[in-house]
Amino acid sequence: MGDGRRAVPAGGGLGVVLLAAVLGSMALVGATGSEPAPRPAVMTAAVDRCGPGWVAAWRTSPQPVRPADSLAGRTLRMVVRPQITGSGVRVRLSNRFGTAPLAVGPVTAARGGPGATLVPGSVQPVTFDGRADVVVAPGAEVVSDAVPVVAEAGRPIAVSLVVADTPDVVAGHPVALQTSYLSGPGDFALDVDGAAFTTPIDSWIVLTGVDVVTPRPVNALVAMGDSITDGVGSGLDADSRWSDALSDRLTRRGGAATMAVLNAGISRNELLAARGPDGGDSPLERVGREVADVPGATDVVLHIGTNDIAVGRSGQEIVGGLVRFTGLARAAGKRVFLTTITPSDAGPHGSARAAAVRDGVNRWVRERGAEYADGVFDFAAAVADPAKPGRLLGRYDSGDGLHLSPAGYRALADAVDVTRLTGSPCLADRSPARVVLSDG
């Protein structure tokens, strides 16, 4: 396929290469361990040019999903909200976990209206090397040609796609916290009124990314973590994850501070498990494809560890994983920020042993994290009950003692020192620029 539309391996090949390179030169570092390894060169905020460019405007982290309903010959309408405004889009479809080729098409993109409806006049066909359909190989991802659909930050984009067969396993994101739709039998990709989409679903399926072309380069921050980053407790269709709140902060600041904030949270994710109980790959495996290879991504914030503690990992193991992650991200030229682990008094997350391990990891992050990363954000202090720091403050608790309320997620976003982020320097340049819609 041509540049920008090629099938790309979804197995995190770069992450594997980086992992080997970092582990070859650095030993595990415990809570009171050895000297930090030399830092690799890190990309600066300076850019070579300030012309039009593609940036990841929305992403989700795929997991293996067994569809509850047959998808064969039906149309999926995936609803997403891009983080950046631009004059055109391209979409990413994944078959990362499939064992057979996945045939998809026709595909359309449009500006979304209420529910499953589309904004009239905005529907555009999506092609792949000029074809209306595409076969995605097992383990691969494909990127579409450029599509002339205007994207507005925070306004829904609907990608409709017909699935030709019934795969046993698809790439999906079960905790979307966003309503999408499945039609009855038939091709309804061009349907505007949405009447055919009778089944609401709360997962994103097959679609894993939307890129936007902008007049000047816009950088992106990847928020990586577990269910707390995924936004559990924040509500359906509310856009109240901490990544959403951080995006709102950056938008209000505007200008060169603006960045896309991409959510790479996976519920039940563990830092150290190769593949967690829900099938989600660990951040150490995902850093290649979900940070290093993402258009425009310059920064990553990692909030992880509570599930590792709950399954019995030691503080030394978790700290070693944090060190390895920072090494991988920095070797890819990204700026990386670590966070303390938010408190919990729920079940295995809140036992006396868990509290002691969490306190030890958090102490290391506060005292030594900046020796390895580009900065540290104290998420735990932002939401802890001052009277009992091992639990969440009442108004920040969603009700289960582990996940946060919308107010709690806003508190996490407020704990990010946005002056430390790369931002998008070219947005300070107000000279005229013309958007060229291409696949470059």
- For β-strands 220-225 and 260-265, DSSP reports them as parallel
**Is 202 inside any structural domain?**
yes
Q: Of 161, 177, 210, which closes a domain? A: 210
**Is 182 inside any structural domain?**
yes
**Is 125 inside any structural domain?**
yes
**Is 39 inside any structural domain?**
no
Kindly state whether residues 77 and 93 are assigned to the same domain.
yes
Q: Of 192, 210, 228, which closes a domain? A: 210
Kindly state whether residues 178 and 285 are assigned to the same domain.
no
Domains: count for the chain: 2
Taking the whole predicted model, whether its pTM rises above 0.95 is answered as no
Kindly state whether residues 280 and 315 are assigned to the same domain.
yes
Kindly state whether residues 279 and 201 are assigned to the same domain.
no
Q: Which domain holds residue 164?
A: 65-210
Selection from 311, 312, 373, 313 nearest residue 340 by Cα: 373
Helix (H, G, I), strand (E, B) or coil at 162: strand
**Is 34 inside any structural domain?**
no
Asked if residues 213 and 52 have their Cβ atoms less than 8 Å apart, the reply is yes
Kindly state whether residues 154 and 94 are assigned to the same domain.
yes
Instruction: State phi, psi for 245 to the nearest 5 degrees.
Output: -65, -35
**Is 15 inside any structural domain?**
no
Kindly state whether residues 93 and 221 are assigned to the same domain.
no
Kindly state whether residues 194 and 98 are assigned to the same domain.
yes
We report the CATH number of the domain holding residue 342 as 3.40.50.1110
Burial of 236 (0-12, 13-18, 19+ CB in 10 A): exposed
**Is 379 inside any structural domain?**
yes
Kindly state whether residues 320 and 395 are assigned to the same domain.
yes
Burial 241-252 (b: 16+ CB within 10 A, else e): bbbbbbbbbbbe
Kindly state whether residues 227 and 206 are assigned to the same domain.
no
Kindly state whether residues 109 and 242 are assigned to the same domain.
no
Q: Which long-range contacts (CB under 8 A, 24 or more apart) does 37-46 make?
A: 37/323, 37/327, 37/372, 39/330, 39/372, 40/327, 40/330, 40/331, 41/333, 42/330, 42/333, 42/334, 42/335, 42/374, 43/298, 43/333, 43/334, 43/335, 45/298, 45/422, 45/423, 45/425, 46/425
Kindly state whether residues 90 and 112 are assigned to the same domain.
yes
Q: How many C-beta atoms surround the C-beta of residue 114 within 10 A?
A: 7
Kindly state whether residues 156 and 249 are assigned to the same domain.
no
Q: Of 210, 237, 264, which closes a domain? A: 210
**Is 60 inside any structural domain?**
no
For the chain, 440 residues long, give each residue's pLDDT as a single digit of tens. Answer: 433 334 544 443 333 333 333 333 333 344 334 445 444 444 344 445 789 999 999 999 999 998 878 899 999 999 999 999 999 999 999 999 998 999 999 999 999 999 999 999 999 999 999 999 999 999 999 999 999 999 999 999 999 999 998 788 999 999 999 999 999 999 999 999 999 999 999 999 999 999 999 999 999 999 999 999 999 999 999 999 999 999 999 999 999 999 999 999 999 999 999 776 667 899 999 999 999 999 999 999 999 999 999 999 999 999 999 999 999 999 999 999 999 999 999 999 999 999 999 999 999 999 999 999 999 999 999 999 999 999 999 999 999 999 999 999 999 999 999 999 999 999 886 544 433 333 34
Asked if residues 405 and 364 have their Cβ atoms less than 8 Å apart, the reply is no
